Amino acid sequence: MSRRLATVLLLIMSAGAMAQESVKVYSAGSLREAMGAVGRAFQAAGGARVELTFGASGLLRDRLAGGEVADVFASANTAHPQALVAAGRAIDARPFAKNRLYALAQANVALTPESLLKVLLDPAVRLATSTPKADPAGDYAWMLFERAERIEAGAQARLAAKANQLVGGPNSPATPAGRTAYGHLMEQGAADVFLTYCTNAVLARKEVPALQSIDVPPALAVEATYGVALLEQEGTRFRDFLLSPAGQAILVEQGFAIAR
CATH code given to domain 3-98+224-253 = 3.40.190.10
pLDDT at residue 21, rounded to an integer: 85
Query: One fold for both 3-98+224-253 and 100-215?
Result: yes
Q: 29-87 pLDDT, tens per residue?
A: 999 999 999 999 999 999 999 999 999 999 999 999 999 999 999 999 999 999 999 99
Closest CA to 145 of 163, 167, 130, 131: 163
For residues 46 and 99, give the distance between their C-alpha atoms in angstroms, rounded to a whole number.
29
For Cα atoms 162, 218, 247, give the angle at the middle one, nearest 5 degrees: 100
Q: What percentage of the chain carries pLDDT values higher than 90?
A: 90
Q: H or E segment at 166?
A: strand 164-167
pLDDT at residue 260, rounded to an integer: 76
**Which fold would CATH assign to domain 100-215?**
D-Maltodextrin-Binding Protein; domain 2 (3.40.190)
Position 15 pLDDT exceeds 50: no
Q: DSSP H helical segments within the chain, as ranges?
A: 3-19, 32-44, 57-65, 79-86, 116-121, 136-151, 155-162, 181-187, 198-207, 236-243, 245-253
Q: 230-250 pLDDT, tens per residue?
A: 999 999 999 999 999 999 999
Position 14 pLDDT exceeds 80: no
Position 11 pLDDT exceeds 90: no
Ordered by start, the domain boundaries in the chain are 3-98+224-253, 100-215
For residues 209 and 252, give the distance between their C-alpha atoms in angstroms, rounded to a whole number.
22
For Cα atoms 62, 201, 64, give the angle at the middle one, nearest 5 degrees: 10
Please state whether beta strands 92-105 and 223-230 pair in parallel, antiparallel, or not at all (unpaired): antiparallel
At 16, the pLDDT band (50, 70, 90 cuts) reads very low
Q: 187-204 pLDDT, tens per residue?
A: 999 999 999 999 999 999
- Residue 69 sits at φ, ψ, to 5 deg, of -110, 130
DSSP track, 75-123:
ESSSHHHHHHHHTTS-SEEEEEEEEEEEEEE-TTS---TTTHHHHHH-T
Average pLDDT score over residue span 212-221: 96
On whether the CB atoms of residues 215 and 102 are closer than 8 A, the answer is yes
Average pLDDT score over residue span 162-179: 94
For residues 202 and 253, give the distance between their C-alpha atoms in angstroms, rounded to a whole number.
12
Alpha-carbon distances, residue 197 vs 68, 149, 237 (angstroms): 27, 21, 28
Closest CA to 45 of 67, 75, 23: 23
* pLDDT, averaged across the chain: 93
